[in-house]
Every structure is written in structure tokens, then in C-alpha cells.
Structure 1
Amino acid sequence: MSESKKICIVLHRRDLRLGDNSAVVSAIESGRLLIPIFVWNRQESEACDAGSASCWWLHHSLLELGNQYAKQGGELFFFREPTQSVIERLIREHDVEAVYWNRRYEPDAIKQDSGLKKSLKDAGIEVHSFNGSLLREPWEVETKQGDPYQVFTPFWKNVLASIDPDKPLSAPEAISFEKVRIESCKLDDFNLLPKLDWADSFHEYWTPGEQGAHESLSNFIRNGIDDYKGERDFPAKSGTSRMSPHLHFGEISPRQICHAVQVHLNRKRKDNGQPGADTYLSEIGWREFGYHILYHFPHTTEKSLKPKFDDFPWDNNAKDLKKWQQGMTGYPIVDAGMRELWETGWMHNRVRMIVGSFLAKDLLQNWKSGAEWFWDTLVDADLANNTLGWQWVAGSGADASPYFRVFNPVLQGERYDPSGKYIRQWIPELSELPDKWIHKPWEAPKDVLKDAGISLGETYPEPLVDHQEAREAALAIYEKIK
């Protein structure tokens, strides 16, 4: 090693990319030799408590990032010991003088990173942390009174008015690595791949990694973004970007997405905006809002943002919860969504709202039970947005759906899946049922059911509850606590 070349560590977490990665770029610009690392220690933070579907994605995303480093002549090193122990050992063994990382915003992660930063600085080690996953830091956006936002629209207007217009950072063309033997483990030692075979089909739907993220975004901008506003609510159509898992794992940054959308708009010469693009960017805004709420109100992962909901008399019937998880509630649009989730590790956003409302307001199950199931089965499981979404649908969170809004699963199905295409895809036992009855098979005449090969209660379940009765019961409870 040359005397003039110092060494630094780049600690990857939720930034599994090289493009627009401030930590990586700054480390390179420092002139130091890089040691890129990733630590997986289940005792440390929520990031290592990821559900099975997320772990599948993480494995393949890390594999791709490792390949990117290998193409540059380096290696991504994997460790299972506590992060601080790993870094302190590398400092001792390789004369490391600086550590670079991109910030995290979950409560446990903030506590961990703050402690690590203090310990390293006390030891005389430089620490450089960056915003690598948000358009604005949560503490940078506040109301005129200096308070955090709890309503989305003014929050997003504030962010839009102050987004950094700079072009995203390019991926480095050359990286200088510290070339010595480093004692580490292998990616397979993390045992991230699910033991059950239920995730075996995920590869048919997803391509984890930075390249896969940019290919997905390019395809969406070419073929979907202009029609996004009108198509996004119809689950049988390819009307959404499906970028959420790529964003969660930091394979692409929101700044890269916003820049790509703006380039698209400039090419079309629509300087005054375009409904599809504007609506899509607002969805990026909801992601930002989720992190804003989580940062300022960290208790919301366990308790309601609105305290009066903490004493809500949830039913918490284990059998009903299981039926919901299995997609066996007897309401086709609900069951189709839950089966899509199990098969693909993802669910269409409109359907997420429908199944969430059904669990919380028809079955009166605690929203945390839904959040826990999504956490284990979604490839895009994200603490901030999972919490925001479930508290929204339960009526207990920021900018929440009003307590009196109870999604009618029949009307929602008829409106957003009028021909039943989505239902037939995920519930094949209903595939022969005419459109008229596809959303309410229990009302179909006996001869129609027989011709479709359906025996309610046997080949497909009877409704778990009567929606109208469940709605009235829920509203009566919500009215009391209101």
C-alpha cells in the first residue's frame, strides 16, 4: 500500500446501489482506498428483523451489488457480528481513518447509528453520513409554526417547493480498493432465502438490483406514466410502476426517479406538468411523508398517532385473521389481493386499501396484525410506509381515512375490476362465474353456481361476515371513541 493512500469503510445498509450514492462518491473523492461492507446482525435493528419476503429480495440485491463491485476490481464484504465490533476490528487491522454511510430513519436504526457515530468520533475516526434515501430530511420540513406535518398535501407542497434540482450523482467509473485479505463471511451465511418454497416464484415477477430498478423505471416511463392517473387504481392493468421494493432497498434513489420523470416531461415539452407524472410523483411524496411521520412520531409503530384509538376494542379473532391471511374470506376482491401477495410478495395499492379496511373495519382486527402480516410477506416491506398505510386505513394515523369510510369490497371490486379479470387471475375456482356475480358469488342463483363448478362453503367460502352488518357495528364503535 502506498504511504499516501489512506483507507476508509463504506457501510452499506438500505443503499444497495453505486449510482447517486453520496457515501460511495464522497469516499472515492476523499482519495482513500475503499472497504465496502454489509453487516447482517439480527440483534441490532429493525432492518435485521425483515420478513421472509424482504429477506429474499435482500439476498438477490446484495448479490447484484457484490457483482458490481467485482466488476470494478473490488469486493463487498459480509459480516454477521455487531456493526460496531466489525468496524472497530477493521480499524485496528487495516488502519482505517474514516467511515462513510447513508442515514437511516427508523427509531432503532437512529439509536444504533448515533451510538456508533459517537464511539467512532471519540476514537478519532472520521464519520461522514449522508441523505441517501429521501428528497428532504425529515427535520428539514416543518409547518410555519415549526411543527412536523400531519397532513400530506401541505407537506408535499413544502417539499416540492424546495427539492434539490441538482442532477443525481453518476455511478463511479473507477474505484480504488484496499487489496488485502479481510476475514469475513459469505452472503449465503446470512441464510436470507426463505425455508419454505412459497418464494420460489418471486423471480418470475421481480429482478432485484440496481440494473433491474432502472430497467423497471424506464419501462414504466415509456409505457405507463402518461396514463398513470387513470390506470393506477385498476389491479388487472399494468398501471403502476412497481418501484416500491427497489426504493426500499435503495437500488434507486427518489432523486433519480424525479429526475427521470422530469427528463420525460421535458422531452414531451409539457412545461406545465402532466397529470400522470404529477400524480406519480405525489406517490413518491407519500413515501417521504411516511418517513416524516415515523421520524417525528416513532411511537406510531406500536401505538396510534391519535391516542383515542389506543383503547379501541378490537375483536382479534385468530380464526378470522387466518382466513384473511389465506385469502379465504368469501369476498373475491379481498381474497384475490391476499393471494396475489402470497404468490408475488406484492399487492396492488388499491387492493391494499381494500384488504386493510376489511381487516380493520369488517373483522375489527387490530391494524398491527395486518402490519405484521404485510411485514413478513411483502418484498417492499417498509417500516415507515407500512405503519403509515395501516394507521391510515384504520383511521388512527396521520391524514387518515375518516373513521366513517369503510370500503365496500363488492362495490370496490365492481368499480376497479369490472370484468373480474383480476379476480379470475388469482381465484381460479371462480373463473367460470359470469361478470354479474363475480364480486358477490353468494348472491348467484344455484344453477349459475353449478354451471361454474362452484359449491359455496366447499370450493369457495361463504362470506366471513355480512359487510353491511359489520360496517354498522364498526361505525357504532368508532362513534363512541370519536
Structure 2
Amino acid sequence: MFRTIRISSTPKTSVFLPTITTILQNSKSTMAPSKRKATAPPQTSRINGDPKTDKKRKTTTDAPLPTNPNASLDPLKTPHPFYKDSETHGIVLRKFYPSEMSNARAQAYNNNELPRPIETLYAALAETAALRKSLPVRQAVVHWFKMDLRLHDNRSLWLASQKAQEAGVPLICLYVLSPEDLEAHLRAPIRVDFMLRTLEILKRDLEALGIPLWIETVKKRKDVPKRIEELMQAWGASHLFCAMEYEVDELRREARLVKIFAEGDEKMVAEVVHDTCVVMPGALKSGSGGQYAVYSPWYRAWIKHVEENPDCLEIYEKPLPNPPSTKSKYAHLFTCPIPPAPENKNLPDNDETKARYRALWPAGEHEALKRLHKFCDENIGKYAERRDIPSVEGGTSKLSVHFASGTLSARTAIRAARDRNNTKRLNGGNEGIQRWISEVAWREFYRHVLVGWPYVWYVFFSYSPFVSLLLSTIGITSH
């Protein structure tokens, strides 16, 4: 049986949730109690669309296990006995997510008895490989923007542009606003405002290249794949490109999209490509052949892989301009407005507040690159000594929201930092540069963990004074 974790906060509350300690100890990797750069099974979940990893927690092994009289007799379908506690004390919305899975189901994933979500997507891509290779391009190629809201160094967008250029057809870009996803992912109004402002900039930049950006709100998240199919048919498009997102629901959604396209009366193909990570999840194996559970050895393997495969840091060009005829043929797509935020995601109706937020977090990839280069030119060399001192101006890069929204790629950031160093080695030279690169890679590590162990989730720990200070500023800077 799993050990349990006591969740405490200020004011103090507590609840028990299961860990995956037992299962991970039975996996191929070597595990031990959690610390970031010690031996530890990482514990993750999706909060605001990204998993986090806890550093401190109290554990207990003698808590009684509550029973669920309504549980299914099938151990793979029975929820974990503590699922009610997470509903009472946690932030998971049962409207969108099922109960935490049982030990038996987690063990089935770990034993490869159940396919991981990424394996489901890979299987769908393999089943449609012949069609994707042979289907001729029709009237247009489409790129679906998700968490990659940039033109610069966007692999999926670049591949879509190349496909359109080779076929001599226009490139059309698409963004789907899903209010249910915003709610399920607990997106803060300030983050939604940032996204909508970024879309305005993205639309303008694309239009300068003769590329339309169609933005549509789809109320039900389950309807997104079918609606994309309908739009593709209306535009006469046959090929869709999008970047892979590594969260569980998103991987399954894309697997369904690939099959819907291939099985429809009007055949289409979806190309779901790796882009977010410098090294794609699954490429790095521990000595025993499994997913790394500990950051330090994973990071050493990551550096070795990148240095042996320098193309991992190759930057992709912006898309090429569309044919001039695009603006007449698809004129209605260029007039698409930026939709308003859903009612429950609006900023306070106060111009002064909005102005302050927008000054703190200017939107778009141009601002992301500007902030990146300013930090690398002026402050990255002292990052190691300043990063934990919040009173120091320039102590951190303030790029988190740009990484999270995809207005800045990890490749671009790491190259910019490396180019300021006195060596091309990622783990050599200036200590501040080394440390900052390792922090960017850390974001990648927990994506690898999420893909390898999709049954792992995050638990909170007692707030330190620094965390409490950060939480007190959520009304201004929360992302």
C-alpha cells in the first residue's frame, strides 16, 4: 500500500493523499526519499497546465485507509481510497477530472499493462503513417497554435510553412479558445489576459506575412477535435500541424484527432510534432533502461545528449510569406477578431489595475526576446548568487510566463545563455549561466517525468516565509 502525505499550509490544515513510493520502488529506476538533487521519485500534477515537483513534505505510514462502499469491484477502475480528501482539501475539479486512480491501476501503468497516453498517440500516428505519407496536399495547410504562441523558433509552424510552400498553397493558422480548459487548468484572469494580448500581436505578425489567424471559441473541450475537422473541411485543407503537449488529456485528445482525421469520409492528416522540449521525452534512459527519477543524473544525461546532438539547439526560421492571392481567397479569415475572455476569467474592471498588470507582464514574443537578451547581457552572470534574493532587481529573468505560454522556446533561451559564456559547454564556464541553463532544463525534466509516469501527482508542503510572501502577491503577479 502507498504511504501517505500530510498536506499542511498556513493557516494550518491537513489531509492525506497517496504517493507512488511503492510503485516507483518496483520500477526499473532506483528511488529514495524526495529531494531535487538527491535520489527521489518526483511527484507531479498539472497545475495551470504544467506539473510541479515538491521539495519538502511530511510523511506518515500509519494512517488508516478509508473505504469507499461505492467502489467498483474492478481494481483498475476503483478510485484511490483517499479520493474524497482531495475533493475536500484539494484543487482538482471533479467536473473535469476523475478520482485519483487506485494503486492497482498505477501499478498497471508501471508494468506496461496499460498504455501511457503518449504511447496511445504514438500508436495513432503509426497506424496512420501510410496515409500521412501519401495523402496529397489540397487547397491549404493549417498550423494549430496551442502553447507555442510565437513565429520565431516554432518547429511545428516551420514544418507547416514548408509543407505549404512545397505544395504551392497557403498556410492558415488556427487558435482554439476553450473556456472549459481554462477552468479545468485553473488559469488566472491575468494569465488569460496575457494570452489574449499575445494573440493580438501574433495575429498582426502573421498578417504581415499574408498568413491569416483564425481564432474560435469552442465551449465544450470534448468538441475541439471535431470542430477542427469541420474547419479544415471548410477551408479545403488536408494537413494539420501542431506541437505536442505532454499532459495526459492533451496527449489523448491529439490521439483522437489523428484518428478522426484518418477515419473521416474526407481523409486528412494530423502531424503532432515534438517542439516544447530540447530533448524529447523518452530519449534519455537511466542505467536500468527506465525513466530517470532524480534530476541530477537526468541533467547529466541531458547535457551529454545535447552536446552529442547539436541539432537539438538548432533554431527554426519564421514561416515564409503566403502567396499574394491568399488575402483575396481567404479574406474572411483576416477579419477574425480576438475574442473576449470568458466571464469568469475577466480582469477587474479597473483601468489602473489593468495598466499595472500589463506593464509588469508585456505580452508577445518580441517582449520575451527583449527580456531574455536584457537578462543575458546584464544579469545572468550573477544569477547563481542573486536568484534567491527577491529584493535584488534583475536577480531572475522574469521569463516564466513566456516559457509557459510558448512566446519563448527553451532552445532560444539556452542558446542565448550559452552564447554569453566563455565556453560552448552547457555545464562549464560562468556559474550563473550554468545555473540558469539548469533551471530551464528543470522545466523539461518534469515533462519527461509526466510522460514516463502519468499516474504521479503533486502534493503541497508547508509554506516557507518566502513562499508565503509570493502567495501574498498573487493578486498582482500570479501566472
Check whether TM > 0.5: yes
- Looking at structure 1, the residues matched to 423 and 294 of structure 2 have their Cα atoms a distance apart, in angstroms, of 33
1:224 lines up with 2:379 in the alignment = yes
- Looking at structure 1, the residues matched to 292 and 425 of structure 2 have their Cα atoms a distance apart, in angstroms, of 33
SS of the equivalent of 1:162 reads helix
Counterpart of 1:99 in structure 2 is: 240
Counterpart of 1:287 in structure 2 is: 443
Q: 1:239 to 1:120 in 2, by over 3 A?
A: same
1:188 lines up with 2:344 in the alignment = no
Deviations 1:422-450 (A, max 9, x none): xxxxxxxxxxxxxxxxxxxxxxxxxxxxx
1:29-428 aligned within 5 A: 29-30=162-163, 31=165, 32-43=169-180, 49-81=186-218, 82-123=223-264, 124-163=267-306, 164-166=309-311, 167-176=314-323, 177=326, 179-182=329-332, 186-191=337-342, 193-195=346-348, 197=350, 200-237=355-392, 238-266=394-422, 272-301=428-457, 336-343=469-476, 345=477, 378-379=478-479
Give yes or no for contact 2:139–2:235 (8 Å, CA) kept in 1: no
Q: For residue 214 of structure 1, what is the amino acid of its counterpart?
A: L
- Single out whichever of 231-240 and 45-54 deviates more from structure 2: 45-54
Deviations 1:296-333 (A, max 9, x none): 233334x65xxxx9xx9x9xxxxxxxxx9xxxxxx975
Give yes or no for contact 1:141–1:155 (8 Å, CA) kept in 2: yes
Q: For residue 162 of structure 1, what is the amino acid of its counterpart?
A: H
Q: Which runs of 4+ in 1 moved over 6 A?
A: 45-48, 267-271
- Looking at structure 2, the residues matched to 190 and 175 of structure 1 have their Cα atoms a distance apart, in angstroms, of 30
Give yes or no for contact 1:265–1:271 (8 Å, CA) kept in 2: no
Q: 1:33 to 1:5 in 2, by over 3 A?
A: farther
Higher RCO structure, 1 or 2 (CA under 8 Å, sep 6+): 2
Unaligned runs of 5+ in 1: 315-323, 325-330, 346-377, 380-482
- Looking at structure 2, the residues matched to 263 and 257 of structure 1 have their Cα atoms a distance apart, in angstroms, of 10
Unaligned runs of 5+ in 2: 1-135
- Looking at structure 1, the residues matched to 427 and 295 of structure 2 have their Cα atoms a distance apart, in angstroms, of 24
Q: CA deviation at 1:226?
A: 0.8
Give yes or no for contact 2:254–2:272 (8 Å, CA) kept in 1: no
Q: For residue 259 of structure 1, what is the amino acid of its counterpart?
A: R
Q: For residue 402 of structure 2, what is the amino acid of its counterpart?
A: H
1:27 lines up with 2:183 in the alignment = no
Structure having the higher helix fraction is: 1
Q: 1:25 to 1:266 in 2, by over 3 A?
A: farther
- Single out whichever of 126-135 and 220-229 deviates more from structure 2: 126-135
- Tell which structure's C-alpha radius of gyration is larger: 1
- Looking at structure 1, the residues matched to 303 and 183 of structure 2 have their Cα atoms a distance apart, in angstroms, of 30
Give yes or no for contact 1:45–1:109 (8 Å, CA) kept in 2: no
Q: For residue 236 of structure 1, what is the amino acid of its counterpart?
A: S
SS of the equivalent of 1:298 reads coil
SS of the equivalent of 1:300 reads coil
Give yes or no for contact 2:192–2:341 (8 Å, CA) kept in 1: no
Q: CA deviation at 1:277?
A: 0.7
SS of the equivalent of 2:215 reads strand
Q: For residue 143 of structure 2, what is the amino acid of its counterpart?
A: V
Q: CA deviation at 1:173?
A: 4.7
- Looking at structure 1, the residues matched to 346 and 367 of structure 2 have their Cα atoms a distance apart, in angstroms, of 19
Q: 1:185 to 1:261 in 2, by over 3 A?
A: same
TM-score, length-normalised on structure 1? 0.61
Q: CA deviation at 1:181?
A: 4.5
- How big is the alpha-carbon RMSD for the aligned residues of Structure 1 and Structure 2? 3.0
Q: How many residues end up aligned between the 2 structures?
A: 321
Q: CA deviation at 1:4?
A: 9.0
- Looking at structure 2, the residues matched to 47 and 159 of structure 1 have their Cα atoms a distance apart, in angstroms, of 32
Q: For residue 12 of structure 1, what is the amino acid of its counterpart?
A: F
Q: For residue 293 of structure 1, what is the amino acid of its counterpart?
A: V
